[in-house]
Structure 1
C-alpha cells in the first residue's frame, strides 16, 4: 500500500495545487461579488432586489454539476469559448456567489432594525451606517456559514475533473488507470481532502473566536 501511495504522490501533487488554486479563486471572487450583491438585495432599489433575488434563487436551484456543464458546453454556443480551467472556475464561482448572497442577506437582516434607525437619527449617512453600525454586527453572523461554504468549495472542486481539469481527483483517476487499485488511491485522496478541510475548520474556529473577541 505504501509503495502505491509513494508512486502516486508525484502525479497527485500538481492536481492538489490545482485544487487549492481553484478553491482560492472561487472563494475570493465569490465573496467580494456576493457581498456587493447581498447588500444590494437588502438595500438596493426594487429592480436590483428583484434581479439579485432571481439570480440567487435560480442558481441555487441548479445542481452544481449541471451548472458546470452548462458553462463548459453552453457558453461556446454564444461565441464565448473557455478552456476547461476557466469554465470550472466560472461555474463554481457563480454557484458560490449565489450562496454568499444569502449569507449576507441573512446576516444583515439579523441585525435589529432599530440599530439602523438610531444611526440615521443621529445623522449618519447611509454608507457610514452600513460600515460602522450594521457590518460589525452582521459579520459575526456572516462568518459561520461563510466558513462552512469555504470547505464546501474545496469539496465541490472535485467535480471539475469531469471537465478534464487536472485537479486532485483527476490525478487519482489517472493513477488508478495505471495501477488498477482504486481502493487505496481513493482512500488516500479522501485523506488529502480531509486534511485540507480539517485545517480550514481549525482556522475557521480560530477566526470566529478572534473576531468575537475583537467585537465584544
Structure 2
C-alpha cells in the first residue's frame, strides 16, 4: 500500500496541477463573463434580460455531466471541434457562468433601490453610480456565495477525466491500472480534494462573518 502511494505521488501531483488549471480557468472566465451578464440581467434592456434569464435557467437545469458531453460530442456536429481540455473548460465555464449570474443578481438586488436614487440625486452618471455606489456594496454580498460556488467548480473538474483529460482523477485511475491498489489511491485523491475545498470553505466563512454586519 505504502509503495503504491509513493509511486503515485508524482503522477497525482501532475494531475493535481491540471485540476487546478482547469478550475482556475473556469473560475476566472465565468467570473468575468457571468459578472457582466449578471449586471446586464439587472440593468440591461428587456430583450437582453430575457435572453440572459433563459440562458441561466436552462443551464442551471442541466446536469454538468450532460453539458460536458454536449460540448465535446455535440458541437462537432455543428462544425466546432474542440480538444478535450478546451471542451472541458468551456462546459465548466458555461455551467459556472449561470451560477455567477444568479450571485450577481442576488447581490445587486439586495441593495436598497434608494442607493441608486441617491447617487442620481447628487448628479452621478449611471456608470459612476454602478462603480462607486452599487459595486462596493454588491461585492461584499457577492463574495461568500461565489467562493462556495468555486468549490463546486473544483469538484466538477473531476468529471473532465471522462474526456481523457489527465487531471487528478484520471491520474488516479491510471495509477490504479498499474498498481491495482484502488482504495488507498482513491483515499489519497479524496484528501487532495478535501484540502482544496476545505480551504475555500474556510475562506468563505471568514468573509461571511466579516461582512455579516452589512445584512444586519
Q: TM-score, normalised by structure 2?
A: 0.94
- Whether 1:71 aligns to 2:56 is no
Cα drift, residue 121 of structure 1: 1.4
**Kept after mapping to 1: 8 A contact 2:18/2:168:** yes
Does structure 2 conserve the Cα–Cα contact (< 8 Å) formed by 1:140 and 1:212? no
Q: CA deviation at 1:78?
A: 0.8
**What's the counterpart of residue 50 of structure 1?**
50
* 1:136-164 per-position Cα deviation (integer Å, ceiling 9, x unaligned): 11111101110001111111100000111
Name stretches of at least 5 consecutive residues in structure 2 with no aligned partner: none
Per-residue CA deviations over 1:155-194 (Å, capped at 9, x if unaligned) read 1100000111100000001111112221111011000111
Aligned equivalents of 2:78, 2:189: Cα separation in 1: 37
Shift of 1:210: 6.8
Partner of 2:16: 16
Q: CA deviation at 1:199?
A: 2.4
Q: Distance in 1 between matches of 2:132 and 2:72?
A: 42
- CA RMSD between the two structures: 1.6
2:37 alignment counterpart: 37
Q: Which residue of 1 aligns with 2:174?
A: 174
TM alignment of 1:105-120, pairs within 5 A: 105-120=105-120
Deviations along 1:184-213, one digit per CA (max 9) or x if unpaired, are 110110001111112223444455567789
Q: Secondary structure at the match of 1:136?
A: helix
1:96 matched to 2:96? The reply is yes
**How many residues in Structure 1 have an aligned counterpart in Structure 2?**
213
Matched, 1:87 2:87: yes
Deviations 1:82-122 (A, max 9, x none): 01000000000000001000000000000001111111111
Query: What is the rounded CA distance, in whole Å, between the counterparts of 2:115 and 2:10 in structure 1?
Result: 55
Q: TM-score, normalised by structure 1?
A: 0.94
Provide runs of 4+ in structure 1 moved above 4 Å. Answer: 205-213
Unaligned runs of 5+ in 1: none
Corresponding residue for 1:25?
25
Contact 2:116–2:129 under 8 Å retained in 1: yes
